[in-house]
Chain A
């Protein structure tokens, strides 16, 4: 069965190949490159389905790791180029390729007639490659490479319509905000790996880090510092407050991009990374509490912001932030499987909602729900798929969103039972946010589909290429939930799928008291994401966190009441079209706060953007242009002067002078001496005689 898993790299390579091919020859093809993208992603998708199936039916599986040494890092450390295939990887592969394939198909029609059509498909391919690279990476450095590449693609695609200044600004904002977190990420990765030095030659290897953390070989300082810094990266990428500010602005990109990147896949990268390093996270209570608190803040306050939005894509963006908050909070309360389950289902229904929104926007040429209305009749297929997506997002019973969100709330409840207040926080705030979610989605649905058409266009149903992805995703938005529901078998289900046999049996969180943990159900095989009892699986199925979910009638009742109440309220306000005064916009100071988005944007602009732009960058420019350039230029000038002096003094005067002097003096002396040879023989004879006389006198005197 490993045979297919060995080819996981092909899933990653195909989108890259597609991006390269589209760039090279896309413009010459009849479909302008879109057919290459769709074909490559289709193949990738089929392969991912195969991989997912193999890991699922046999779950939990041993992780398959294949790597080649890419380049030495010095000091005996090796940078690997490798893949790690386990259940978590397979889940992400399936999600990413599915959504990406659907978005490719959808974009073929949606982007028709847009400028840079070929470029768009090349970018989609590149993005998919980057995300898959991040997902299959077997070491943190490779993951960081994928992480930065998805950030780049996100930036390029947000600024896709770069003719507009606001789109450029949105791209810059997204890039710079996530870059802020990326600094934390890379430092965190280094901190975490620094703890691995001396233990292994490959300190960045994810499996080895996880094993070392569980074996207690990493110091608390390493874990806390490293994971909090990595969490900073996750916060920026996964839109956790207060670093969520870029995500609503990112809706400036084309709608399929919003669906693929800013709803279903890229923004979940942070959650994925936390899940990947979950055994490390689970070592420390402070880390988990921090993660849970940021998640709770985000899931509630992010959702509230959606109430006052008129732009459909922004409503969905804020709901994405809120749902990401659920996922992060779930990680913080020990709901590893719940978090990834929600990530998985959310990917489908949020992609569905965005693609549906794209279909609506296509029809009425406006993003604003106040310009829509009465769309149910004109666009029946968009209507029912959108409703399915909304129900899943709102957590209506028996949809995927219901099962996954319930898992998170139950995880919170169990966590609370073990004596951690963050557990109850997640439970109750999560319920309140579910009410808010239901209300704003109902508001959007009523305003879009009910009442009279307020747009200035005659809406028309979209074509087949746009509707088919909607329908596939609508089916998945419901069906995905049955992977981990009271209806699913004990094994395999989603939880065993994610489990990896990494940890010893009977593990629990190291900081919990054993008695309490046992009473609350926190002890058990594979609490830490591990189907530990692979060895003990002789009799009966593998048990994981809480086995097959059971019905929770109390929770079900609360959810149903909240749902009905929210829909009823929304119907009262919006059931008959756009009211004169929108109730969500008439809540006095509360509305003001929400419209101002809690002031994060203003704060960021006033206290970060402006000082950075006016002071810091000016200072940086000064230090660069005046100080550093001055130093460099000074050194250059000094060198040049020294060289000129050397030339003039040493070369021209000393050396040349010596040589010329020797020559000139020889010439001068020879000019004088040559006069002796006058050619006058008589003079020679006279000198000869004089010399003889002198010699005679000298000898005479010497006697």
Chain B
């Protein structure tokens, strides 16, 4: 199976994630963009496992993807808690408003 399709998809997802993280103002959407980038990495990990070590019983790439999915879930939990608190305090989830740590 050609790896081109999955790698292009991963590249697109990652780029969309980066765009989302940099450009979106809504904190929830920023979190979703981060998830996009993480999933792009997952696709890459699985793709390269199958490309470089086909039939290897030690499926390291897949195992890493599973870990990342777990970590991403935890990260989303923390991130949503922050967004939730931010909304409570400011009645806004716009990341441009969260600029307290500046000069």
Contacts and interface: CB of A to CB of B under 8 A. Distances in A.
A685 B21 contact: yes
Query: Nearest 10 pairs between A and B by C-beta?
Result: A679-B102, A679-B99, A674-B103, A686-B22, A679-B101, A677-B103, A682-B22, A685-B21, A685-B22, A680-B99
Contacts of A68: none
B74 interface: no
A701 interface: no
B23 A677 contact: no
B23 A682 contact: yes
B29 to A, nearest CB: 12
14 contacts: A677-B101, A677-B103, A678-B99, A679-B99, A679-B102, A679-B103, A680-B95, A680-B102, A681-B95, A681-B98, A682-B22, A685-B18, A685-B21, A689-B18
Which of A677, A678, A680, A682 is packed against the most chain B CB atoms within 10 Å? A682
Interface in A660-703: 674-675, 677-682, 685-686, 689
Interface of B: 18, 21-23, 30, 95-96, 98-103
Given A674-B103, A677-B102, A678-B103, 14 more contacts: A675-B103, A677-B101, A679-B98, A679-B99, A679-B103, A680-B96, A680-B99, A680-B102, A682-B22, A682-B30, A685-B18, A685-B21, A686-B22, A689-B22
Contacts of A677: 101-103
A121 to B, nearest CB: 93
Contacts of A685: 18, 21-22
B24 to A, nearest CB: 8
Interface of A: 674-675, 677-682, 685-686, 689
A127 B103 CA distance: 92
Nearest to B96: A680
Contacts of A686: 22
Contacts of A680: 95-96, 99, 102
A677 B103 CA distance: 6
A679 B95 CA distance: 10
Nearest to B15: A689
A679 B22 contact: no
Which of B18, B21, B22, B30 is packed against the most chain A CB atoms within 10 Å? B22
A680 B18 CA distance: 16
Contact of B102 (A678, A682, A689): A678
Contacts of A678: 99, 102-103
A681 B98 CA distance: 8
A524 B10 CA distance: 148
A680 B96 CA distance: 6
Nearest to A684: B22
A679 B100 contact: yes
B16 to A, nearest CB: 13
Contacts of B23: 682
A689 B17 CA distance: 12
A504 to B, nearest CB: 110
A681 B23 CA distance: 11
Contacts of A689: 18, 22
B61 to A, nearest CB: 22
Nearest to B30: A682
A669 to B, nearest CB: 13
A383 to B, nearest CB: 120
Contacts of A674: 103
A134 B102 CA distance: 97
Contacts of B98: 679, 681
Nearest to B22: A686
Nearest to A670: B103
A678 B101 CA distance: 8
Contacts of B99: 678-680
Contacts of A682: 21-23, 30, 95-96
A117 B22 CA distance: 114
B35 to A, nearest CB: 15
A689 B103 CA distance: 23
Nearest to B23: A682
Nearest to B99: A679
Contacts of B102: 677-680
A675 B30 CA distance: 24
A268 B101 CA distance: 107
A682 to B, nearest CB: 5
A499 B95 CA distance: 127
